[in-house]
Chains A and B, each alone.
Chain A
Amino acid sequence: MVAEQRELRDDALNGLQLSTRLENIWRTPSGFFGALASVDHKVVGRRYIVTAFAFLLLGGLLAVLMRVQLAGPENTFLSADKYNQIFTMHGSTMMFLFAVPVMEAFAVYLVPLMVGTRNIAFPRLNAFSYWMFLFGGCFLWISFMLNVGPDVGWFAYVPLSSLQYTPTKRPDVWAQMITFTEVAALAVAVEIVVTVFKQRAPGMTLDRIPLFVWAMLVTSFLVMFAMPSIMVASTSLILDRLVNTRFYDSSSGGHPLLWQHLFWFFGHPEVYIIFIPGTGMVSAILATFTRRPVVGYPVVILSLIATGFLSFGLWVHHMFVTGLPQLGAGLFTASSMLIAVPSGLQIFCWLATLWDGRPVYRTPLLFVIGFIVIFVIGGLSGVMVASVPIDTQVHDTYFVVAHFHYVLIGGAVFPLIGAVYYWFPKIAGRMLSERLGFWHFWLAFVGFNVAFFPMHILGLIGMPRRVYTYTADMDWAHLNLLSSAGAAIFALSFALLLVNVIYSLRSGPLAGDNPWDASTLEWATTSPPPPQNFDRIPIVKHRDPLWFDNESLPVVAGLSVERREVLLTSLAEAEPQIREASPDPSIWPLLTAIATTVFFIGSIFTPWAVLWGTPPMAVALIGWFWPTGSKEDEE
């Protein structure tokens, strides 16, 4: 009898009827308030990507302003005060509002598609995460527009950032922006881990997970272990400034180096939180455009995991000139260099893939090749700065500025731009222009190297970081001018990307499901994907399912078509376990984010905000989790 009364499942319907039904239950409600209530990972992911790129644009404009200021000696284009705010905003924006969020944004959009499920785990938390990120970013930038932009560096070293030496609200704005973005990042990390562990399509065993998804899984664990450190640091900084605690005050038993340890215990893994997703993008793009799977799949995964572990054991190389014991510092030299081994292994695997493959030179592959050329330079200069004696000279000079831009732009932004060209057709349904892409790549490659290579030499001939000007007799003018010219070219290349995106959104050729003949599951659905992602959940029998079953994928049936349901599978073997309800759209994540924002911003002005800020949050959370009596609960 039970079988007859049960709800309608997808095995009872077919074709258009099934699609329409699923679309109706999974779609984002129409209208303005419907859009605000969306919990679709694709909608949230798209917003996340666009917002992160908006912050890239803003951070890039700041970089251009700095390069104008430094183009000549004793330039008065920017005052010291403006310059200090701008370099702090540039670093903070790029690290906290662009690099980490954009990688998570791609994961939010792609991971559920790549593992073959209908929505990310905890979709409402996902919406909440986006709102927190958006509000935190706006909070920082509006403060900057009001001349309350932080001016103590993206690292905000105490005691400079303490109340005594910076009695304005500027460091509080910085510290609380950290709290916003870290809450957002931690939420996404949890979602990704659970999605990957529990929502993979049946048959997608651990050794069939796409490399990009592996990269995001490792990144998510790094986020979960690294970010709490910076939240502890920034919160105790706010406490020092607001209620006179003495965590960092050396005259009361605190210590400024405590800040540096906490900051870099986060700050170094942060680099890998940005870089590891880049490697996942590289692996995905290389496989598709060399027309073969990446060589050494297990080697690449083990390298990612090893990188993750090692990244927590080398933060001290940021502190070699703080007077630490020599032997200890020497050991951190070795541990820092050791990370070259897993990074090197990945590079060797990619080179072997290119070696055996038949490269198809489309824009994404160009950016991956640019990545290898640039990133290896950054990695090798990283080996140099890991050496204590060399670091004592180049630390806090333009040599280090060159080094980490080679690592972060070479290692993460080049793969990211490749990924934009690669996945844009899936997200937008239209192809980006290849001709503009070709120009974009060459302008970016040449512009980047002209802008940043001279900085190595500038550092060696004595130019420190974070100086708003320099005198004419320092011999730094020519190289600075060259670097500024390169920066202009590099900035221009991003203008081309913008033009390309706007033009192609309207009139790019239609993409179709799988324009690149790629192998992973996101290409098995339409472009852009329907709200339910897949009409039926695919069964995975191979690491490259679309190359293996290129006619039609096998699927499972049995999920409800009357309410939102996802299929949960076992952790290692991805065997089907249970049907699980997936939440409906809700306005409460937005309301909770607004309440949290009021609480966070209020609490940099008065400790009482902790008191009056909490009840609205509690109300919002009660609304969010109010039991609605879903069928699942009744059963």
Chain B
Amino acid sequence: MPVRMRTALVPSATLPLAACAGRQSALDPQGLQSDQILRTFFIFLIVAAVVWIAVVIALCVGMLRQKRAADQPLALHRSFERTSGRIVFVLGLATLVIVLGLSIVSYAGQRTVFAKDENALTLKIIGHQWWWEVRYEDGSPDKNFVTANEIRIPTGRPVKVELESADVIHSFWVPSLTGKMDLITGQKNELQFTAKNAGTYRGQCAEFCGHQHAHMAFAVLALSPDEFDRWRDHENQGASSPTDPLGKQGEQLFRARGCALCHTIRGTLAGGQLGPDLTHVGSRTTVAAGTLPMSPATLAAWIADPQHIKPGNFMPRMPLQSDELIAILHYLEQLK
């Protein structure tokens, strides 16, 4: 665990910030990396605050001292010029020492944050306008599966995300866990992080990626290792076929009304590749890439008119009768 060894720079740095807790806050770190970044940040913040206060005090004292005569601007005191020159030189030197010191602090923090672990759980995340494709590619091929807009990870184990883009540049950012990394067209980036505590953390695209950049979020659910293994085994399986008539009608309408042209539901004939995989959509926590919380009402509203909720996104509004909408909704909801 090389990550843990360098974290003692500012002990308990997070204590005074309980008020800043949040699902998407760099001030409420829940990961080893975000913890380290906050420590580095506080060192910088303290230095900055001291420097700023010193400058403002010097400014105020300078304004209050009024010694010279105003009418003889060129009558300079040689002693003042010499002394002030020396003081400026010393302060310049001090600035140099401070920034070199901070560079070293920064680099130490950087080494910790970007430390790599060979045994990390590997995910591939592909950015799309405006949603996230998540591929679990760890271990044997029969354990690989695809999901979208939600990442579940085990606590305490390093996670490596490989970042790629299907279109424009996006940026993967879960401030509670670590800093961001861009998803760049034609380039493979990677980022490693470890969640300390179980919980649900929100992430959001941080590089402007066009029309609906504001609505490109995702959820990270950090689970206990056992819970994670159970979830992964379940997620790896295809969708279970509906047993009730309404569900069966929904499954059929999902194909008949064009949904399957873009969406895949593993274990069924729906195999579209343009939109998010919906195999276990019923168990996700959000709708439309973190735009709305998951509930029957929000999912229905989304299917009925995606262009109202997220104008300009690439999911067209499909003409559906209300009974058809109810059937499809019912079908999707049981895809747990």
User: B63-77: contact bitstring with A at CB < 8 Å (1 yes, 0 no)?
Assistant: 101111111011011
A80 contacts B92, C-beta separation under 8 Å = no
Chain A residues positioned under 8 Å from B320 (CB to CB): none
In the complex, the chain A residue whose C-beta lies closest to that of B172 is: A321
**B40 an interface residue at 8 Å Cβ cutoff?**
yes
In the complex, the chain B residue whose C-beta lies closest to that of A295 is: B84
Chain B residues positioned under 8 Å from A341 (CB to CB): 92, 95-96, 99
CB distance from A71 to the nearest CB of B (A): 15
Known: A344-B95, A386-B106. 16 other contacts (CB 8 A): A157-B169, A159-B168, A295-B85, A321-B171, A333-B103, A341-B95, A341-B99, A345-B88, A348-B88, A349-B88, A373-B56, A380-B52, A389-B36, A389-B179, A393-B34, A547-B74
Q: Report the separation of the CA atoms of residues A165 and B112 in the bound assembly, to the nearest whole angstrom.
A: 37
Partner of A296, one of B84, B107, B114: B84
**B239 an interface residue at 8 Å Cβ cutoff?**
no
A358 contacts B69, C-beta separation under 8 Å = yes
Chain A residues positioned under 8 Å from B208 (CB to CB): 152-153, 157, 160, 396, 465-466
A351 contacts B58, C-beta separation under 8 Å = yes
Interface size on B, residues (CB 8 A): 93
CB distance from B231 to the nearest CB of A (A): 25
Chain A residues positioned under 8 Å from B185 (CB to CB): 159, 250, 256
B-binding segment of A226-234, A469-477, A618-626: A469-477
Chain B residues positioned under 8 Å from A79 (CB to CB): 311
B92 contacts A344, C-beta separation under 8 Å = yes
Q: Report the separation of the CA atoms of residues A257 and B205 in the bound assembly, to the nearest whole angstrom.
A: 18
Q: Counting chain A CB atoms within 10 Å of each CB, which of B80, B91, B208 scores highest?
A: B208
**B184 an interface residue at 8 Å Cβ cutoff?**
yes
Chain B residues positioned under 8 Å from A635 (CB to CB): none
Chain B residues positioned under 8 Å from A326 (CB to CB): 110-111, 114
A391 contacts B88, C-beta separation under 8 Å = no
Q: What are 17 residue pairs bridging A and B, where the CB atoms are less than 8 Å apart in the complex?
A: A160-B208, A166-B210, A291-B70, A291-B73, A330-B107, A333-B107, A345-B91, A358-B68, A377-B52, A380-B51, A384-B44, A388-B106, A393-B180, A395-B206, A457-B20, A461-B26, A467-B213
B88 contacts A352, C-beta separation under 8 Å = yes
Partner of A323, one of B80, B111, B167, B187: B187
Chain B residues positioned under 8 Å from A344 (CB to CB): 91-92, 95
Bin the interface of chain A by size: 35 or more
A389 contacts B99, C-beta separation under 8 Å = no
Taking chain A's interface residues, is the majority helix, strand, or loop, or is none over half, making it mixed?
helix
**A92 an interface residue at 8 Å Cβ cutoff?**
no
**B186 an interface residue at 8 Å Cβ cutoff?**
yes
A165 contacts B179, C-beta separation under 8 Å = no
In the complex, the chain B residue whose C-beta lies closest to that of A391 is: B179
**B144 an interface residue at 8 Å Cβ cutoff?**
no
Name the interface residues of A51-110: CB closer than 8 Å to any CB of B. 79-81, 84
Chain A residues positioned under 8 Å from B107 (CB to CB): 330, 333, 388
B61 contacts A355, C-beta separation under 8 Å = yes
**A392 an interface residue at 8 Å Cβ cutoff?**
yes
Chain B residues positioned under 8 Å from A465 (CB to CB): 206, 208
Partner of A544, one of B22, B27, B45, B74: B74
A293 contacts B74, C-beta separation under 8 Å = yes
Partner of A460, one of B25, B58, B59: B25
Partner of A251, one of B41, B88, B186: B186
User: B177-216: contact bitstring with A at CB < 8 Å (1 yes, 0 no)?
Assistant: 0111110111101100000000000101111111111100
User: A322-354: contact bitstring with B at CB < 8 Å (1 yes, 0 no)?
Assistant: 110010011001100110110011011101101
Q: Counting chain B CB atoms within 10 Å of each CB, which of A157, A299, A354, A462 scores highest?
A: A462
Chain B residues positioned under 8 Å from A498 (CB to CB): none
In the complex, the chain A residue whose C-beta lies closest to that of B165 is: A159
User: A347-374: contact bitstring with B at CB < 8 Å (1 yes, 0 no)?
Assistant: 1110110111111100000000100110
**A480 an interface residue at 8 Å Cβ cutoff?**
no
CB distance from A171 to the nearest CB of B (A): 12
In the complex, the chain A residue whose C-beta lies closest to that of B25 is: A461
A160 contacts B74, C-beta separation under 8 Å = no
Partner of A165, one of B65, B98, B210: B210
In the complex, the chain B residue whose C-beta lies closest to that of A461 is: B25
CB distance from B244 to the nearest CB of A (A): 34
Partner of A354, one of B62, B181, B186: B62
Q: Report the separation of the CA atoms of residues A565 and B65 in the bound assembly, to the nearest whole angstrom.
A: 48
Name the interface residues of B85-131: CB closer than 8 Å to any CB of A. 85, 87-88, 91-92, 95-96, 98-100, 102-103, 105-107, 109-114, 129
A321 contacts B182, C-beta separation under 8 Å = yes
**B161 an interface residue at 8 Å Cβ cutoff?**
no
A333 contacts B76, C-beta separation under 8 Å = no
CB distance from B310 to the nearest CB of A (A): 9
Chain A residues positioned under 8 Å from B40 (CB to CB): 387, 389-390
Q: Report the separation of the CA atoms of residues A591 and B85 in the bound assembly, to the nearest whole angstrom.
A: 53
Partner of A291, one of B68, B106, B190: B68
**B132 an interface residue at 8 Å Cβ cutoff?**
no
CB distance from B228 to the nearest CB of A (A): 24
**B24 an interface residue at 8 Å Cβ cutoff?**
yes
Partner of B63, one of A165, A256, A359: A359
CB distance from B24 to the nearest CB of A (A): 3
In the complex, the chain B residue whose C-beta lies closest to that of A160 is: B168
Chain A residues positioned under 8 Å from B181 (CB to CB): 321, 323, 392
User: B135-177: contact bitstring with A at CB < 8 Å (1 yes, 0 no)?
Assistant: 0000000000000000000000000000100011101010100
Q: Report the separation of the CA atoms of residues A544 and B74 in the bound assembly, to the nearest whole angstrom.
A: 8
**B32 an interface residue at 8 Å Cβ cutoff?**
no
Chain A residues positioned under 8 Å from B98 (CB to CB): 340
**A519 an interface residue at 8 Å Cβ cutoff?**
yes
CB distance from A278 to the nearest CB of B (A): 17
A547 contacts B70, C-beta separation under 8 Å = no
In the complex, the chain B residue whose C-beta lies closest to that of A340 is: B99
**B48 an interface residue at 8 Å Cβ cutoff?**
yes
CB distance from B2 to the nearest CB of A (A): 14
A461 contacts B27, C-beta separation under 8 Å = yes
Q: Report the separation of the CA atoms of residues A80 and B309 in the bound assembly, to the nearest whole angstrom.
A: 12
B202 contacts A392, C-beta separation under 8 Å = no
Partner of A390, one of B37, B62, B80, B112: B37
Q: Which A-B residue pairs are the 7 nearest by beta carbons?
A: A392-B179, A250-B186, A462-B24, A467-B214, A323-B189, A387-B106, A380-B48
In the complex, the chain B residue whose C-beta lies closest to that of A303 is: B92
Chain A residues positioned under 8 Å from B102 (CB to CB): 337, 383, 387
User: A142-163: contact bitstring with B at CB < 8 Å (1 yes, 0 no)?
Assistant: 0000000000110001011000
Q: Report the separation of the CA atoms of residues A554 and B155 in the bound assembly, to the nearest whole angstrom.
A: 81
In the complex, the chain B residue whose C-beta lies closest to that of A252 is: B186
Q: Report the separation of the CA atoms of residues A523 and B96 in the bound assembly, to the nearest whole angstrom.
A: 38
User: A187-221: contact bitstring with B at CB < 8 Å (1 yes, 0 no)?
Assistant: 00000000000000000000000000000000000
A475 contacts B22, C-beta separation under 8 Å = yes
Q: Report the separation of the CA atoms of residues A358 and B62 in the bound assembly, to the nearest whole angstrom.
A: 9
When A157-B169, A333-B103 are in contact, do A372 and B59 touch as well, CB less than 8 Å?
Answer: yes
Partner of A334, one of B67, B100, B167, B311: B100
Q: Report the separation of the CA atoms of residues A81 and B73 in the bound assembly, to the nearest whole angstrom.
A: 57
Q: Report the separation of the CA atoms of residues A160 and B211 in the bound assembly, to the nearest whole angstrom.
A: 10
